[in-house]
Amino acid sequence: ELERISANCDELASGVPTSFYSALQLLQFVRVFGGRGCIGRFDQWMYPFYQQDIDQNRITQEEAQELLECLFVKLNHFPTANQADNDTLRNISLAGQTPDGSDASNELTYMCIEASAKLMLPEPKINVRFFPGSPPDLVRACGQALAKGANTLAMFNDEVAVPSLVKLGIPLEEARDYCND
């Protein structure tokens, strides 16, 4: 395990992540070295790393879930006491729409909801976006997480948010790609 961690760190020291594991490590490095605020559309930009590893049998869904949960645990480490007293705004936006208006949910969307419901930690804040094309399973997954007592999961309505952003002058494709901060 330590050799794998070392290889990930070497990879990131000289280039871009090439696996789900190293992409998660890069996110952790950004946070440790001062990155603050919104994490963004996590399931959109991390999914290609996850799917590539799954397709090439480099990782199982269960291993990826464990790594994701480890990241969520690390997101709850506050190096100073005064940071723990404040909302860190570590929002992760999930699902919603792609810039072309199609459903953006994927397997990683559900994995994040599951991790949040299982761990019941204050960070990250899970923001799940819905629109008329959202799959019913997504509503069910959020309902199950909330029924377990998850209190960091929020649901957002793209039918309200997207037109409001367009009204402000944001192009439709960009408005569909919003995340909360």
Closest CA to 72 of 20, 121, 22: 121
pTM for this entry: 0.90
Q: How far is CA 67 from CA 49, 92, 105, 124, 146, in A?
A: 13, 16, 20, 15, 23
Provide the angle, in degrees to the nearest 10, between the axes of the packed helices 61-74 and 47-55.
150
Closest CA to 111 of 2, 24, 6, 177: 24
122: Cβ contacts below 8 Å, ≥ 6 apart: 76, 152
User: What is the pLDDT tens value at each position of the chain, 181 positions in all?
Assistant: 889 889 888 889 999 999 999 999 999 888 878 777 788 999 999 999 999 999 999 999 999 999 999 999 998 876 665 555 455 668 899 999 999 999 999 999 999 999 999 999 988 999 999 999 999 999 999 999 999 988 889 999 999 999 999 999 999 999 999 998 7
Residue identified by tokens 């959202």 is 134
Burial class (CB in 10 A: 0-12, 13-18, 19+), 76: middle
Q: What residues are paired with 126 via a beta bridge?
A: 92, 153
How many C-beta neighbours within 10 Å does residue 13 have?
Answer: 8
Rounded to whole angstroms, how far apart are CA atoms 123 and 78? Answer: 11
